[in-house]
Amino acid sequence: MGSGSEWGWPERSLLGVLSAPARAELLSLGTELTLQSGDVLLTEGATDRHLYVILGGFAKVTATVENGQESLLAVRVGGDSVGEMAALDGAPRSAGVVACGPLRARVVGPGALHGLMMRRPEVAMALTRIVADRLRWANRRRLEFRGYPVKVRLARLLVEFAVGYGRPERGGGHVIGFQLTQPELAALTGAAETTVHKGLRELRDEGLLGTGYRTTTVHDLARLARVAELAEPVMPPDSRRPRGSAEDRP
C-alpha cells in the first residue's frame, strides 16, 4: 500500500488523528528504520517499550494460540502505530509484528514518548483512544464469529479495510493496496479456509470484488456493506482532504 504522503494518513491511525504540529514533533523523535518482508518489528513476550509508527508499507500482527500455532490478529499500515500497549503500561508484548514487504517505520523510545505525551496531551489521548478502539474491535470480532455467517464476516472485514485503508479509484471502486492470503483471511474471520474461498468466489461472482497482483478491489462499497448487514451505510472519507496529507503538514 502506498504511504500516507501519497494518499493521506488513514483517519483512524495515529498520524491521521494528530494535529500537524503534534505529528511533526512525533516524527522528529527516535530513528527511522527500513525493513524487508519477514523482518520483525516486535516480538511477542519481549519487554522492550518502544513505540513504532509505520510510515509506509504494511505489517501483520500475530500471536501464538494455545495449540502453539501462530494466528493473525490484525493488519497495520502507514500511519498506524504498533507497540503502544507496552509503551503505555510496561507489560511484555502481547503480540508480534512482522513486516510484509518493504516497510518504513519510526521507532521512538519510551522516555522520548513519555516526554512528548507530557508536552502534548493530545498524543496521550490519541494513543489511549487507539488502544480502546482495538480492544473494542477485538470484542466485536469475537461476537461476529458467533452471530454471523462467514460470508457476512468476510464482507465486514473487507468493508473495514476499504474504508480505513482503501484508495478511491475512478468508477467508484476502492483499492485495498495489500494482499491477504486465504489462510490469513480465515484467521481474521474465524472460519475454515475452504469456507473463505467459497465466500470470496461468491463476492467475485456478484461483481463486488476483484483481485490483482497484491491488491484487492471493492467494486461497490455500498452493496458490500449491505451484504455485511451493516446498520448504516459505510462510505470512506474520499470527498474530504485526508488528514495528514501534504497540505496539512507544517
User: Within 13 Å, how many C-alpha atoms sit on residue 47's CB side?
Assistant: 0
Mean per-residue pLDDT, 5-32: 85
- pLDDT of 248 above 80: no
- pLDDT of 242 above 50: no
Q: Which of 38, 30, 34 is nearest to 55 (CA)?
A: 34
pTM: 0.72
- pLDDT of 7 above 50: no
Asked which of 41-50, 122-131, 185-194 is least confident by mean pLDDT, the reply is: 185-194
Tell me the pLDDT tens digit for each residue of 130-184. 999 888 878 777 776 667 888 988 998 898 888 877 778 877 788 886 777 888 8
Mean per-residue pLDDT, 4-16: 69
Q: Are 105 and 26 in contact (CB under 8 A)?
A: no
Tell me the pLDDT tens digit for each residue of 65-92. 777 777 778 888 889 999 999 999 999 9
In this prediction, residue 8 carries a pLDDT of 66
Greater confidence (179 vs 188) lies with: 188
Average pLDDT, the chain: 83
Asked which of 36-45, 177-186, 216-225 is least confident by mean pLDDT, the reply is: 177-186
- pLDDT of 33 above 90: yes
In this prediction, residue 3 carries a pLDDT of 35
Q: In sequence order, which ranges of 2-120 are alpha helices (DSSP H)?
A: 4-7, 14-17, 20-27, 84-89, 110-119
- pLDDT of 22 above 90: yes
Whole-angstrom Cα Rg for the chain: 18
- Cα separation, 129 vs 124, whole angstroms: 9
Mean per-residue pLDDT, 202-208: 94
In this prediction, residue 165 carries a pLDDT of 73
Q: Torsion over CA of 235, 27, 80 and 70, rounded to 10 degrees?
A: 170
Greater confidence (198 vs 240) lies with: 198
Q: Torsion over CA of 207, 209, 212 and 217, rounded to 10 degrees?
A: 120
Greater confidence (128 vs 247) lies with: 128
- Cα separation, 53 vs 56, whole angstroms: 9
In this prediction, residue 211 carries a pLDDT of 79
Q: Would you give the DSSP letter of residue 29?
A: S
Cell 455500498, residue? 222
- Name the band, by pLDDT with cuts 50, 70 and 90, for residue 231: low
User: Within 13 Å, how many C-alpha atoms sit on residue 141's CB side?
Assistant: 19
Torsion sign over Cα 162, 164, 167, 173: positive
In this prediction, residue 240 carries a pLDDT of 35
Total residue count of the chain as it appears in this document: 250
- Name the band, by pLDDT with cuts 50, 70 and 90, for residue 198: very high
Q: Which of 39, 16, 41 is nearest to 107 (CA)?
A: 41
- Name the band, by pLDDT with cuts 50, 70 and 90, for residue 250: very low
